[in-house]
A and B are shown apart, each in its own frame.
Chain A
Amino acid sequence: MAEPQDPIIRVRGLRTQFGDQVVHQDLDLDVRGGEILGIVGGSGTGKSVLLRTIIGLNRPAAGRIEVFGKDLAAVTPAERLAVEQRWGVLFQDGALFSSLTVAQNIEVPMKEHLDMPARLRDEIAALKIAMVGLPPEAGSKYPSELSGGMRKRAGLARSLALDPDLIFLDEPTSGLDPIGAANFDQLIRRLQINLGLTVFMVTHDLDSLHAICDRIALLAEKHILVIGRMADMLRHEHPWVHEYFHGPRARAARPNNEEAGG
């Protein structure tokens, strides 16, 4: 287990590129244990690419990525599998397996990695379905029968199937109505408190940033331009940062008690 001081994710000197197009250059990032970190940035700045690179779906051109203190480029397949079982990933649209029901989707990682009897698996899957706030009849439904919000919740339930220490969320509230998005925020917050999760969240949602993120990292100019609490963001003077956090939508999203900080 990592010490509380050690970052759960440590990225150093990361460079990612597709052909000639460099997405990240000299990117450093620490994610502390037990925090909710929001990654923000303009469209096309490579937020999702960063997430995909950390979880190993993209190969970095240079740099070092450590998760749970392990350098993911240098681990054996067995070690990698052990790390993968400690994290969960929620893709943008849930990425549920369309040929399986929601309950079966949630049981996939349990079936694959844990030698669990079917009865216990069903019990735990049912618990996860309830925990993410899906209605009871959702367990037997196929992904195509669900709404976008329900698919996201089901995806979250699947990413929580193995009770991970760390979850990656790719725009968890995009495409949800404001009530659904607020519920989702609360859900993530509650799970983070009760399960002690570390959350790495890519988002555009200023409400989410205000409501649940402990820290915010702003991705611009190919690296993490600034990282800190909301109050730090509001004080920052970089024009883009200012525009982002003081634009008309940001003002609308900001709770009144933070007004003093800006």
Chain B
Amino acid sequence: MADGWLKVATEVDGAVRLQAGGHWDARNVTRLDQHLRGLQPTNGAAVILDLAQVERLDTAGAWLLYRTRRQVRARGGQADYAGLTPAHEAMLDQVAANDRPVEMEPPRQPALLAVLGRVGDGTVDVMIEARQQIGFLGLLLVTLAGTLRHPRRLRLVPLVYHMEKVGFNALPIVGLISFLIGVVLAYQGAAQLQRFGAEIFVVNLIAVSVLREIAILLTAIVVAGRSGSAFTAEIGSMVVNEEVDAMRTLGLDPMEVLVLPRVLALVLTLPLLAFFADMMGLFGGMLMCWGVLEISPALFLERLQDAVSPWSFWVGIIKAPFFAFLIAMVGCLEGLRVTRSAESVGQQTTRSVVTGIFLVIVVDAMFSIFFAAVGV
């Protein structure tokens, strides 16, 4: 690739001649810029910018020449172009005409202030979000009540579609995870209980922990990651695409069309998923007991009936619709909060998953206290 070059010569009358030649274009300006910046300022001597040997001049190259002339003139010196072709002149004029200050960066704050500002923004944001969640909860309940009064307004096809997507399609991953957790619990529990010769209580350990807490909690977390995020991304992309606005102008209520089918789908399927997770968790534990502790499946099942009351099972299942409601609500709300940029979809999706899981665990803790209080 051709180079651009710069020669500095002093004329007889003391003027400095900067002779430019070759390709003064974007590929060469870095070097030429260093060369020009390295030059000593002339002490009042006239500067001649000689372009006679420039073969190619683009805006970047023209900028350097123009800037040099401007700098010399700003110091009170004299500077002029020489050897201009009409094309070069047009280019230099173009650059000169567009030399004006441009704001390049958003104004910056001092670091301490910025930190305080971010903490403040974050706090306000959490408050706003909490308020929006409560408002959205109300709106959702009103919509739900309206649909209950006029059941024909319920959109059945989307409901079934979402039930398949969030429920049926989640079976393999939820099943596998619960199975493995059952295996792990049995194995770890056995290692501890064997020291007391109480291997048989592994069954109690597995049954109570899987049925009451682990299966439903794991399922909720998997579903929050899988479906909560999908709700946010789907609705968020529709917001970016102005589809949600289009819906409103067509007299369709996004709450009814987008949110309600998703929420109901999850509320209906999460208990079923939780039941499946219960079974897979117990199955995993049973296999492990058989393999490692030589507790036969028949013995395991017999023990199981002693260990758990129906309430242990119902405690887990009762929580499922509540978790589902929270996950779906947060997922849809965060989707609707997307602003019109690609980045925002990502941000809200992350937020949807984090908030969803957080709320699930908070509510789970509240349930534990409640069940302890009522004694089941």
Which residues of A does B touch, CB under 8 Å?
A: 85, 98-99, 101, 103, 110, 114-117, 120, 122-131, 136-140, 142-144, 160, 162-163, 190, 193-196
Contacts and interface: CB of A to CB of B under 8 A. Distances in A.
Contacts of B104: 101, 103, 122, 125-126, 139-140
A103 B30 contact: no
Contact of B105 (A99, A101, A144): A101
A136 B98 CA distance: 11
A116 B103 contact: no
Interface stretch (B147-155, B329-337, B338-346): B338-346
A121 to B, nearest CB: 9
A132 to B, nearest CB: 9
A116 B18 CA distance: 22
Contacts of B67: 123
14 contacts: A114-B26, A114-B27, A116-B30, A126-B102, A126-B104, A127-B95, A130-B99, A139-B105, A143-B341, A160-B59, A163-B25, A163-B59, A194-B91, A196-B87
Interface in B69-113: 87, 90-91, 93-95, 98-107
Given A115-B30, A190-B94, A196-B87, A127 B99 contact: yes
Contact of A120 (B29, B87, B103): B29
B30 A162 contact: no
A17 B101 CA distance: 48
Contacts of A139: 102-105
Q: Among the interface residues B30, B34, B67, B339, which one has the most CB atoms of the partner chain A within 10 A?
A: B30
B106 to A, nearest CB: 5
Contacts of A120: 29-30, 33
Interface of B: 25-27, 29-30, 33-34, 58-60, 63, 67, 87, 90-91, 93-95, 98-107, 339-343
Contact of B102 (A85, A98, A136): A136
A162 B29 CA distance: 11
Given A136-B100, A162-B26, A195-B58, A98 B91 contact: no
B30 A123 contact: no
A101 B343 CA distance: 13
A29 B8 CA distance: 47
A125 B94 CA distance: 15
A162 B27 CA distance: 8
Nearest to A133: B98
Contacts of B343: 98-99
B30 A98 contact: no
B341 A195 contact: no
- CB-CB nearest 6 A-B residue pairs: A163-B58, A130-B98, A126-B102, A103-B104, A194-B94, A139-B102
A158 to B, nearest CB: 13
B90 A193 contact: yes
Given A98-B342, A114-B30, A163-B25, A127 B59 contact: yes
A116 B94 contact: no
B262 to A, nearest CB: 27
B54 to A, nearest CB: 13
A117 B30 contact: yes
Given A114-B27, A115-B30, A117-B30, A163 B60 contact: yes
Contact of B63 (A98, A103, A114, A124): A124
A120 B27 CA distance: 13
A123 B93 CA distance: 16
Contact of A130 (B30, B90, B100): B100
A136 B91 CA distance: 21
A126 B67 CA distance: 13
B102 A129 contact: yes
Given A98-B341, A126-B101, A190-B94, 15 more contacts: A101-B104, A101-B106, A103-B102, A114-B27, A114-B29, A120-B30, A120-B33, A125-B102, A125-B104, A129-B102, A130-B99, A130-B100, A143-B341, A163-B60, A194-B90
Contacts of A142: 341
B63 A123 contact: yes
Contacts of A136: 100-103
A139 B60 CA distance: 18
Q: Among the interface residues B33, B100, B104, which one has the most CB atoms of the partner chain A within 10 A?
A: B104
Contacts of B91: 194-195
